[in-house]
Amino acid sequence: MKAIKKLTLWIVISLFVQFLGFYYVDSKFLSSASNVTIKKIEDFDTDEKEYEDVDVKISDNASKIQFSHNCKYLSYIEKNHLYVEEIKSEKIKKVQLEDNSEISYYKWLPDRDRMLIVEKNSGYNGIKLMVSSYDVKKDEKILIKDFKVYDENIEVSDIELSTLTGLTYIKTVDSDNVSSIYRIDRMGEGSKIETVPKYISNMSLLRTEDILYYEGEVYNKIYSSQDNKEINIDDVDKLTLLGTDNEKNIYVGSLKNDLVESIYYKTIESKQNLSEETDVEKLEDEKNEFVNDYENNFTQIKMTSPSKSENIFINSEGKIYVHDKIRKTVTNEIDKSVTTYNGEFLSFRNDGIMVKNGQNISVIKYKK
């Protein structure tokens, strides 16, 4: 009888321990991905040396030119093929695409030697967008998710992703200029999200939260994917989305005659932190006389000179850069440091600008 009692007791203890284990796994690891929050502990630097300005010769027929985050690799499209060149060795790889596919869009990850590739595939089963991860070092492409689409002219126009949350948002535009946004989590589960406007211009994803901001193209209204509510600032009619930074700040610009006159930013709190005081004093010591606190938790930065939104860039540290095409300069709007260049301005980077001069592509770091 005692043996039976002991056996029963051990069975109960065993079941209780298993139940706790299953509960922990279910609540911590298998919970819904609809609300993803990552708490930033610290930033870890890679062991790679910081690069200097880069200058590489490239074919005249190359398009959609990009550099990896550390400028170790150069990538481009030529004759519908995607090529990746290791700059130091000058070795060039052609990325293998699927049969009956063409590149619709690709983007380097912001902190590693990988890229996200979207191929438009046309086959017997119709048209689909195939989203893959490409590891440059291993020369390995892995399919993450595919979406069936019903417009042969559909193209991917933007990708927003976070390596911290593992979330990817892909914006497509069809032949009627109607936009769709697809969400993919780190498990490869994908879905189309609901948006308020059908025509979407810009979008930006918070690095540590599952919150995507997107801008309506027609009325210049900005919405959050968290609740699809419109962002409002007192006495400002038209807003344009400028970007987000690593500290959960969103940056928007007030528009007048299609020019940004002021930039507004605020820290976005996750749902569990909404009761805490919102930090709107970021960079206050640095920005001082350029900054005014706004009554609805936005902080205003008056532009030195109004500028088109495409000439304004917010990097991951929250620094604001403004491109002047005529003067061939890029100016830090806060500390007024100026980066100059020769040739054709191609794009902003997190740490500098990409410029084409003849057959040479250069990356020039921002002046400090």
The domain limits of the chain are 228-336
Beta-strand pair 73-78/81-86: antiparallel
Residue found by looking up tokens 């596919």 in the block: 101
Structure token pair of residue 186: 């780190």
**Of 351, 347, 344, 348, residue with least CA distance to 365:** 351
As a whole number of angstroms, the distance between CA 189 and CA 182 comes to 10
pLDDT at 358: 92
Beta-strand pair 101-108/91-94: unpaired
* Per-residue model confidence as pLDDT tens digits over 107-132: 999 999 999 999 999 988 899 999 99
Q: Is 122 left (phi over 0), alpha (psi -120 to 50) or beta?
A: beta
Question: What are the distances in angstroms from CA 333 to CA 116, 262, 306, 323, 339?
Answer: 31, 11, 11, 10, 12
pLDDT of 45 above 50: no
Arithmetic mean of pLDDT, 157-181: 97
pLDDT at 326: 97
* Per-residue model confidence as pLDDT tens digits over 259-304: 999 999 999 976 554 444 444 444 444 444 444 444 468 999 999 9
pLDDT of 356 above 60: yes
**Angle, vertex CA 243, rays to CA 237 and CA 249, nearest 5:** 95
As a whole number of angstroms, the distance between CA 65 and CA 81 comes to 12
Say if residue 58 is exposed, middle or buried (CB neighbours under 10 Å; 0-12, 13-18, 19+): middle
pLDDT of 340 above 50: yes
pLDDT at 348: 98
Torsion angle, CA of 49/54/59/62, rounded to 10 degrees? 80
**Of 330, 350, 332, 354, residue with least CA distance to 340:** 330
* Per-residue model confidence as pLDDT tens digits over 183-224: 999 999 999 999 999 999 999 999 999 999 999 999 999 999
| Residue 368 binned pLDDT confidence (cut-offs 50, 70, 90) | confident
As a whole number of angstroms, the distance between CA 44 and CA 30 comes to 27
pLDDT at 123: 85
* Per-residue model confidence as pLDDT tens digits over 300-336: 999 999 999 999 999 999 999 999 999 999 999 999 9
**Of 307, 306, 263, residue with least CA distance to 287:** 263
Average pLDDT score, the chain: 86
pLDDT of 153 above 60: yes
**Of 65, 318, 46, 349, residue with least CA distance to 364:** 349
pLDDT of 90 above 60: yes
pLDDT at 287: 46
Asked if 77 and 103 count as a contact pair (C-beta separation under 8 A), the reply is yes
DSSP string, 1-17: -HHHHHHHHHHHHHHHH
**Angle, vertex CA 203, rays to CA 31 and CA 347, nearest 5:** 125
**Of 248, 45, 223, 274, residue with least CA distance to 165:** 248
Question: What are the distances in angstroms from CA 168 to CA 60, 71, 207, 296, 313?
Answer: 32, 23, 11, 30, 21
